[in-house]
């Protein structure tokens, strides 16, 4: 990743610090940009009379706003970089600082994927309920092991991206339209700030008019979540490298097989640790309590464990058989293999308890 091509828009922050005569500012920076944190601190301290303290703990999203810890050391303002505001209140005045990347890749490499995916969407509309007969047909139709076919009313191309590339979307909408696609930029719910934005835990812009997706961004974190959530084909165009690829059905199948295995191995278990995320945008206390009640209804034990950071070394030793995660949903999906015991989502617990059926289609754990 070429960090020098990222633009940090510090002007609004500098103006706010000057206007309020802020003395102590905390800077919170995502992991991928920490290398540049000191440079940003220098810039803020040069342009204002404030002192800057870096919140050096890991930060993976706007769900993770620093709050009481910074208040305790006298910070008046948090400058949170690279993520957009969510529908949460951390209790601290917070300035969100956009980070944009200036790469703008050619669309030619991704067009073959988009043509193939649009064809899948057409077939889904034309044969909405035909169950597939064999594996090859399942691959053709991008049908996963749960047999999910998203109900469609149109075959539009949904154009989405990660936060540092969202400024590209209006231009790329035109490019893809010129290439013959009917393009929409989905608008999601209150957890998302911008059209076309996706988070690892929220794909609420999805609707039945979208037949397939194009993701502008790098890595497969968002693509995996989007396909698990929607069951729709997705192509990826990476602004850092210009490379195009797709989120293959095999990858999603592998994850679903793993999820199914974890559910099966939790079925005869009796003691469950229910994780509550203490970060402001991950805290789902009511969901955790509901899961505890469900366990008790089925004659099982549920222990509520609240924590800010979740990791194997922090929980594996508890004498429970299974963990149910209500903190960041991706802890269960992406990190399951790191834990010595099954780590399942609330929906998966409902399948374990027989309250939901796996065959009805996998339900991604979304934070609204």
Contact residues for ligand SF4, defined by CB under 6 A: 60-61, 63, 199-201, 281-282, 328, 330, 367
For the bound state, the minimum distance from the C-beta of residue 178 to ligand SF4, rounded and expressed in Å, comes to 33
For the bound state, the minimum distance from the C-beta of residue 342 to ligand SF4, rounded and expressed in Å, comes to 20
Q: Which residues pair with 27 in a beta bridge?
A: 54, 79
3-state DSSP call for residue 328? coil
What CA–CA distance (Å, rounded) separates 2 from 302?
46
- Closest to ligand SF4 by CB, 302 vs 329, is 329
- Closest to ligand SF4 by CB, 61 vs 196, is 61
268 CB contacts (<8 Å, ≥6 apart)? none
- Closest to ligand SF4 by CB, 88 vs 185, is 88
Q: CB-based burial of residue 113 (10 Å sphere; 0-12 exposed, 13-18 middle, 19+ buried)?
A: buried
- Closest to ligand SF4 by CB, 8 vs 364, is 364
- Closest to ligand SF4 by CB, 110 vs 216, is 216
What CA–CA distance (Å, rounded) separates 222 from 216?
10
What CA–CA distance (Å, rounded) separates 30 from 28?
7
**Cβ proximity of 362 and 355 under 8 Å:** no
What CA–CA distance (Å, rounded) separates 134 from 160?
32
For the bound state, the minimum distance from the C-beta of residue 201 to ligand SF4, rounded and expressed in Å, comes to 3
CB atoms within 10 A of CB 279: 23
For the bound state, the minimum distance from the C-beta of residue 199 to ligand SF4, rounded and expressed in Å, comes to 5
What CA–CA distance (Å, rounded) separates 300 from 292?
9
- Closest to ligand SF4 by CB, 63 vs 336, is 63
For the bound state, the minimum distance from the C-beta of residue 187 to ligand SF4, rounded and expressed in Å, comes to 18
For the bound state, the minimum distance from the C-beta of residue 329 to ligand SF4, rounded and expressed in Å, comes to 6
């Amino acid at each position: 990743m070429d960090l020098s091509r990222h633009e940090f828009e510090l002007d609004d922050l500098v103006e706010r610090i000057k206007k309020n005569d802020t003395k102590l500012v905390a800077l919170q920076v995502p992991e991928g940009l920490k290398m540049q944190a000191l440079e940003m601190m220098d810039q803020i301290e040069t342009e204002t009379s404030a002192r800057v303290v870096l919140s050096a703990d890991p930060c993976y999203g706007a769900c993770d706003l620093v709050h009481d810890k910074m208040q305790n050391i006298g910070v008046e303002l948090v400058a949170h970089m690279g993520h957009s505001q969510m529908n949460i209140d951390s209790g601290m005045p917070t300035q969100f600082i956009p980070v944009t990347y200036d790469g703008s890749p050619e669309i030619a490499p991704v067009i073959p994927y988009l043509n193939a995916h649009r064809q899948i969407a057409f077939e889904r509309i034309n044969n909405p309920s035909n169950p597939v007969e064999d594996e090859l047909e399942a691959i053709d139709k991008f049908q996963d092991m749960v047999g999910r076919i998203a109900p469609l009313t149109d075959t539009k191309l949904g154009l989405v991206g990660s936060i540092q590339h969202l400024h590209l979307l209006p231009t790329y909408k035109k490019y893809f339209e010129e290439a013959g696609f009917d393009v929409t930029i989905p608008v999601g719910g209150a957890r998302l700030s911008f059209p076309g934005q996706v988070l690892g835990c929220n794909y609420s812009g999805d609707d039945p008019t979208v037949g397939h997706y194009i993701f502008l961004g790098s890595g497969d974190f968002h693509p995996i979540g989007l396909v698990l959530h929607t069951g729709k084909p997705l192509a990826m165009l990476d602004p850092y490298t210009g490379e195009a690829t797709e989120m293959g059905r095999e990858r999603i199948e592998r994850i679903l097989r793993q999820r199914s295995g974890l559910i099966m191995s939790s079925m005869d278990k009796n003691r469950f640790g229910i994780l509550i995320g203490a970060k402001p945008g991950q805290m789902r206390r009511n969901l955790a309590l509901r899961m505890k009640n469900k366990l008790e209804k089925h004659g099982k034990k549920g222990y509520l464990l609240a924590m800010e950071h979740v990791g194997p070394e922090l929980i594996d030793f508890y004498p429970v058989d299974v963990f149910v995660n209500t903190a960041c949903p991706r802890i269960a999906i992406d990190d399951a293999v790191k834990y010595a015991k099954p780590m399942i989502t609330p929906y998966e617990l409902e399948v374990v308890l027989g309250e939901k059926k796996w065959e009805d289609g996998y339900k991604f754990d979304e934070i609204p």
